[in-house]
Amino acid sequence: MKQRSRIALVAFTLALATPSLASAETVELYPVGGTADATTLTNAQTHIRTAITGLGHTIVDGSGTRPTTTAEFTTAATAAHAVYVVLADIEPNAGHYHLHVWAFSVDAARVEELYVDILLEEEDARLHDILGSMLRPQGLADDALRLSAEETDEQRARREAAEAAARQAELDRLHQAEADAAAAAEAQRRADEAEAQRVADEQRQQQEQAAREAAAAAQHTWDTRPLYGAGGAWMVQIGGEGGGAIAYGAHNAHVPGGGGLGLVQARVGRLIVDGLEVRAGADIFLGLGTGLDLVLGVTYQFSPFTFPLHIGAIIDLGLSFAFQGPQDVGFVMRAGAVASWMPVDHLYFELALPEIGVMTNGTGELVFGGALRVGYRFD
């Protein structure tokens, strides 16, 4: 079969190199039709054009509706100033195709039609032979039988071999396409995994960065939180306290014991270190008679929040002067839990609750209650 192919190729080459015995004419060639795909139709059109030009003819492209009658062929040829009009359809098969070709001759005023089989490996030589027989003054003549004769055993063997080769080539192409698709899918899978890992790493890094930034921001907020004493080392404060008293000494009918207790308070404080403040002040007390307390005290308030709320303890010690009731001088001590809040710069509200203590005036009293004071800090 390879020897036959080489002979056909040599014959086609000689045909192209040898001047055609027919005179060079203008041929109107319409686009190839048929059931093949666009690529196959385009390839067939190219080979047909090559065969026609190889015969020495000039091609004019046909357009519009294909002619089907002698009159329509004549009209088409006249409009294109052509001597011949060629139409072709193909039906593809593995390794070959069936060619249905029409050739109209203006001079002979006839349409010749041929239905033949074309092996792809002999395509150019076969088309050159067919069209050379159709595009000449005498037309197909006796070549019609030769060109359309049933295939010989040798031709059948070549066709079957071509079909087998084409089928094998198609199988190889499909297998290669499957292998390429599998390789592409694997490459895509790996690329997707790599991309997913990259995205995961990037998200993890972003989360870690966000966590570091959040921790740094939280630390900065904590480090810069307002501590007790913000606003100034000095503070002046006024307020009041309410509560009660219980006598713990021997009862004296002439000395009041127990009952309600109220105080009007004034303080001056000085911050020693952050949170620690010493104070001095005076209290006017009412209820257990009337009197005056002069006290020294200390408070420590720490700042466990990022907003200006402070908590701690407070204690006052001093002397208590009773102007009514026992009319004596005693010792006074009060201690308790305390919380302060700074709603605006320098201004403090302070709540001491509960406060408990003792007054030794008269029969002696255990005192209890709570105080609310407001203060202003300054330097």
Taking only the tens place, the pLDDT of each residue in 219-277 is 999 999 999 999 999 999 999 999 998 888 655 444 456 688 899 999 999 999 999 99
Give the C-alpha separation, 208 to 201, whole Å: 10
The predicted pLDDT at position 68 comes to 93
CA 26, 28, 34, 38 torsion-angle sign: positive
pLDDT for 16: 42
Which regions of the chain carry the CATH code 3.40.50? 2-149
Q: Is 217 left (phi over 0), alpha (psi -120 to 50) or beta?
A: alpha
Q: Residue 157: how many CB atoms within 10 A of its CB?
A: 13
How confident is the model at residue 287, as a pLDDT?
A: 80
Mean pLDDT of 4-13: 42
Give residues with Cβ within 8 angstroms of 172, minimum separation 6: none
Neighbouring CB atoms inside 10 A of 301's CB total: 22
Instruction: Tell me the average pLDDT of the chain.
Output: 88
For 114-157, how does the pLDDT look when each residue is reduced to its tens digit (9 = 90+)? 999 998 888 999 999 999 999 999 999 888 888 877 666 676 67
Any idea what DSSP says for residue 248? -
Instruction: Compute the distance between CA of residue 41 and CA of residue 96 in angstroms, rounded to an integer.
Output: 13
Q: Can you give the pLDDT at residue 123?
A: 92
Instruction: Find, among 281, 174, 274, 272, the residue nearest to 237 by Cα.
Output: 281
CATH classification for the domain delimited by 234-378, as one of 2.60.120.10, 3.40.50.12160, 3.30.9.10, 2.40.160.20: 2.40.160.20
Residues contacting 273, CB < 8 A, separation 6+: none
How far is the C-alpha of 77 from the C-alpha of 62, rounded, in Å? 9
Q: Where in the chain is the domain with CATH 2.40.160.20?
A: 234-378
What pTM value is reported for the model? Answer: 0.51
pLDDT of residue 20: 40
- 330-335 average pLDDT score: 96
> Residue 318 is encoded by which pair of tokens?
């001093």
List, in order, residues 6 or more apart from 312 with CB less than 8 Å away. Answer: 228, 275, 299, 300, 301, 302, 337, 338, 339
Task: Output the six-digit token pair for 121.
Answer: 């490996």
Please state which CATH number belongs to domain 2-149: 3.40.50
Whole-number Å distance between alpha carbons of 157 and 330 = 137
Q: Rounded distance, CA 56 to CA 84, Å?
A: 13
Report how far residue 197's alpha carbon sits from residue 367's, in angstroms, rounded to the nearest whole number.
Answer: 71
Name which residue leads in pLDDT, 16 or 358: 358
Look up residue 134 and give its two tokens.
Answer: 């159709």
